[in-house]
Amino acid sequence: MSETDTTVEKRIVQRGLWFEEFELGAIYEHRPGRTITEADNTLFTTQTMNTQALHLDAAYAAETSFGERLVNSMFTLSTLVGLSVAQLTQGTIVANLGFSEISFPKPLFHGDTLYAETKIVDKRESKSRPGEGIVTLEHTGRNQHGDVVAVAVRKTLVQKRPTT
Tell me: the pLDDT tens digits for 104-121?
Answer: 999 999 999 999 999 999
Task: Judge contact between 64 and 153, C-beta under 8 A.
Answer: no
Task: Judge contact between 88 and 137, C-beta under 8 A.
Answer: yes
Task: Catalogue all structural domains in the chain, each as residue range(s) with its CATH number.
Answer: 26-159 (3.10.129.10)
47-70 residue pLDDT tens: 999 999 999 999 999 999 999 999
Share of the chain above pLDDT 90, in %: 90
Task: Judge contact between 133 and 126, C-beta under 8 A.
Answer: yes
Report whether pLDDT(78) > 80.
yes
Amino acid, single-letter form, for residue 93: I
User: How high is the pLDDT of residue 6?
Assistant: 73
Query: What is the C-alpha separation between 160 and 51, in angstroms, rounded?
Result: 42
**pTM, whole model, 2 decimals?**
0.90
